[in-house]
Amino acid sequence: MENKNNRKHYIITLLILTFLSIPVIGTVIYSLSSSWGATILPDGFTGKWFLQLITDGRFIDSLKRSLLIGGISLAVSMIVIIPSIVISAYYFPKILKVIEFLSLLPFMVPAVVLAVGILKVYSGFNLKIFGVPAIIIGAYFSVAFPFLYRGIKNNLDALHLKSLVETVNILGGTNYHAFIYVILPNLKKGIMSSGILSLAILLGEFMYANLLIGGRYETLQVYLYNMKGKSGHFTSAMVTLFFIFIFIVTFIAINIEKISRKRKENK
């Protein structure tokens, strides 16, 4: 019975993965095709769309801006969110319900409404952080907040927080030492997984970037929108590169964790 159930699970999982991968495979093939009209298969294959993309200065600049904005926003979000969750879970557990409710607001309120509200808050401020408009960092914080909160909170629930802190205190350490040397290392999986997910979402974010800064600070998605009329093959090549980039980032993150585990085992 167990083998039959396992086979069913494998078949269902395979069907779902196949269904989900069809659009991705189609995009990749289209980005490599010279032309693809009414036929089942492309008329030919070429790499000229990728060559045009990587030699386009606007694309390189927009990629740098997206990485810069995403990196700064993610760093600011983690600096604010991680201590807030840990402190609330240890000292004020009831406040976590409020934080959880706040993490749902970005899904409940339309992005257009949030963008108008952010414009009201930041109106009059012409502040740039490392060359990035501060208004987009505030907007991206609201985008990353729900994913960071859920990933870190789930990881934190698996820890006996009070027992860990009390153990460190008994050994002569402070709560700060417990946070830096015990809690943060144990939250590494949650931080890494939610961080990668948040970065991927920030790189693919269009609404806030277009409404708040638009062409004044062209990001990757704004560039894609501006170039949509050029060629479907060209935009497909850009989307394919985006998939490859996310895969590489995820692969590096997973291998960093494996390397750190091996080092600990060798010690």
Q: What is the mean pLDDT of the chain?
A: 82
End-to-end CA distance of the chain: 43
Cα–chain center distance at 207: 15
Element at 185 (helix H, strand E): helix 184-186
Binned at pLDDT 50, 70 and 90, residue 101 comes out as confident
Euclidean distance between CA atoms 84 and 148, whole angstroms: 12
Element at 44 (helix H, strand E): strand 44-45
Quick check: 38 pLDDT over 80?
no
Residue 82 pLDDT = 92
pLDDT tens column, 125-147: 666 666 677 788 888 888 889 98
Binned at pLDDT 50, 70 and 90, residue 265 comes out as low
Mean pLDDT of 164-192: 87
Quick check: 74 pLDDT over 60?
yes
Give ∠ CA 243-244-247 in degrees, rounded to 5: 90
Quick check: 5 pLDDT over 80?
no
Mean pLDDT of 221-231: 78
Euclidean distance between CA atoms 21 and 15, whole angstroms: 10
Pick from 26, 130, 144: nearest CA to 80: 144
Beta bridge partners of residue 35, listed in sequence order: 44
Quick check: 124 pLDDT over 60?
yes
Give ∠ CA 109-114-117 in degrees, rounded to 5: 130
Euclidean distance between CA atoms 208 and 217, whole angstroms: 12
Pick from 207, 209, 210, 187: nearest CA to 68: 209
Quick check: 259 pLDDT over 80?
no
